[in-house]
């Protein structure tokens, strides 16, 4: 910066030499404390000399104290507009009014890359039919198929990369935090972070980070929440990759973490549903899984949305335990035949949705539930059966318990003029009704600058 500033007691001659050396036709005058107090152009000096001044006169005699300047926080857009007003050079001054930079037509640097963080949100799903056929031990021999849709309840994740190797995880879902000096130390800790540790084993990040997780839904809800959490976390890490994972790869990585590393038994549909989003018909075979988006007319979606009730039935369930029991039951031919009947029903459910046959769709939910509850004795119980039968008596056409079973959420289809009656009956039993909308988007990820959220 020395080529652009000169003390105000210097001569015109010294100012000209300074201007010649910086090649910008301007110099800034400073006091003894290096505070910029004026601006002088080569034209100012030339006019002063034509008026009879000597090159040995003080530069302060022709310095302009009312000059345009900017500080380090001045937006680039503002600098562009100033330069567009025939201003050749703009000094950048710090809080002490000392020169720290120069902006000109030929020197307008791009904004220095600041720190960024990644965010992601991934929705949970409601399933309509085909449950059980997305288990590997079933479709390794017979093709599986399910129909599901994501809804407006999400798992949210925020990831910030650190300058050191420390790993910090904060989960509102668990009400706990994990802090470790490095990745290996984080993976070796005991506690409730098994799923997140499994995800870190998959990702193997080569940097320290801070990860924040929260969800809109309760744990063990039967909505595929663990898959939504997994997708959101993987989505954040994906934002910092140059060669990004695609949707199928993200779903497979989520499955790998939960099923293989974390060791929780279950099917494949949750991971694909949360990543892809929307209404999907999914087919499962040993060689490949395929997600088919369903193009359902908007008015049919709106009517279906208004005809469904999502009711928290309470209770807790261990989906892994239920799936393991279901796997044992599938060794029996009669159970395999029931799963195959469920797959056949899934194709009919898909067609009912595409053709807008919503009454038949509601009746199919009842058929799907009657089949599903026979897969394992742990899927239903007397309390769940009573809730469902009472719902049928108060206007429900059909419905099913979501997820593996044992507890969580009931999805009920009700005729339009019986909806209030059914809601009142459910709430009278102390059951919670959860409003929702269909979500057409799946996993969403993005990055943001930390500077956008820093207080000045």
Q: What is the DSSP string of 330-398?
A: TTSHHHHHHHHHHHHHHHHHHHHHHHT-HHHHHHHHHHHHHHHTTS-TTS--HHHHHHHHHHHHTTEEE
Tokens of 78: 């503002």
Which residue in 44, 134, 216, 270 is the catalytic one?
A: 270
Q: Where are the alpha helices (DSSP H) in 212-297?
A: 225-239, 247-255, 269-276
Q: What is the DSSP string of 414-439?
A: E-GGGHHHHHHHHHHTTPEE----B-
Q: Which residue has the tokens 């680039």?
A: 76
270: annotated active-site residue: yes
- Per the CB < 8 A criterion, the answer to whether 265 and 323 are in contact is yes
Tokens of 84: 């567009």
Give the integer Cα–Cα distance in Å for 345 and 409: 21
DSSP bridge partners of 155: 122, 215
Strands 116-129 and 144-161: antiparallel
Give the integer Cα–Cα distance in Å for 336 and 342: 10
Q: Which residues contact 309 (CB under 8 A, 6 or more apart)?
A: 396, 410, 411, 412, 414, 419, 422, 423, 426, 433
Q: Which residues contact 438 (CB under 8 A, 6 or more apart)?
A: 149, 150, 151, 152, 278, 279, 301, 304, 305
Q: In angstroms, what CA-CA distances link 81 with 4, 78, 109, 437, 452? A: 22, 5, 15, 46, 22
Give the integer Cα–Cα distance in Å for 305 and 409: 16
Q: Which residues are designated catalytic?
A: 270
């Amino acid at each position: 910066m020395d080529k652009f500033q000169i003390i105000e007691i210097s001569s015109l001659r010294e100012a000209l030499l300074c201007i010649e050396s910086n090649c910008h036709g301007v110099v800034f005058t400073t006091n003894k404390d290096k505070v910029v107090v004026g601006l002088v152009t080569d034209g100012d000096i030339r006019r002063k000399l034509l008026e009879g001044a000597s090159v040995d006169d003080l530069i302060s005699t022709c310095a302009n104290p009312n000059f345009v300047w900017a500080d380090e926080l001045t937006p680039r857009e503002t600098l562009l507009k100033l330069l567009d007003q025939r201003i050749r050079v703009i000094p950048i001054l710090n809080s002490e009014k000392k020169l720290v930079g120069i902006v000109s037509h030929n020197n307008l640097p791009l904004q220095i890359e600041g720190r960024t963080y990644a965010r992601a949100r991934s929705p949970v799903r409601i399933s309509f039919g085909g449950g059980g056929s997305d288990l590997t031990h079933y479709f390794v021999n017979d093709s599986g198929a399910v129909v599901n849709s994501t809804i407006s309840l999400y798992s949210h994740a925020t990831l910030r990369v650190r300058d050191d190797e420390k790993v910090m995880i904060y989960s509102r879902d668990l009400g706990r935090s994990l802090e470790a000096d490095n990745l290996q130390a984080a993976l070796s800790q005991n506690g409730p972070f098994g799923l997140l540790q499994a995800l870190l084993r998959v990702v193997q990040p080569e940097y320290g980070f801070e990860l924040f997780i929260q969800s809109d839904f309760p744990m063990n809800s039967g909505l595929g929440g663990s898959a939504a959490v997994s997708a959101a976390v993987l989505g954040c890490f994906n934002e910092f990759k140059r060669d990004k994972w695609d949707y199928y790869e993200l779903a497979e990585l989520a499955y790998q973490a939960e099923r293989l590393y974390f060791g929780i038994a279950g099917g494949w549909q949750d991971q694909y549903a949360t990543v892809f989003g929307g209404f999907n018909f999914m087919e499962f075979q040993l060689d490949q899984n395929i997600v088919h988006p369903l193009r359902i007319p908007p008015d049919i979606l709106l009517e279906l949305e208004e005809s469904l009730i999502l009711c928290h039935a309470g209770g807790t369930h261990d989906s892994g335990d239920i799936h393991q029991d279901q796997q044992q039951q599938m060794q029996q031919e009669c159970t395999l035949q029931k799963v195959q009947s469920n797959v056949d029903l899934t194709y009919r459910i898909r067609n009912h949705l595409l053709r807008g046959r919503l009454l038949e769709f509601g009746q199919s939910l009842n058929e799907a539930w009657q089949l599903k509850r026979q897969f394992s004795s742990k899927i239903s119980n007397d309390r769940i059966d009573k809730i469902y039968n009472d719902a049928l008596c108060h206007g429900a056409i059909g419905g099913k318990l979501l997820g593996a079973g044992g507890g969580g959420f009931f999805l009920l289809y009700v005729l339009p003029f019986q909806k209030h009656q059914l809601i009142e009956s459910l709430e009278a039993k102390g059951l919670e009704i959860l409003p929702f909308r269909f979500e057409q988007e799946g996993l969403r990820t993005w990055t943001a600058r930390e500077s956008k959220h820093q207080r000045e």
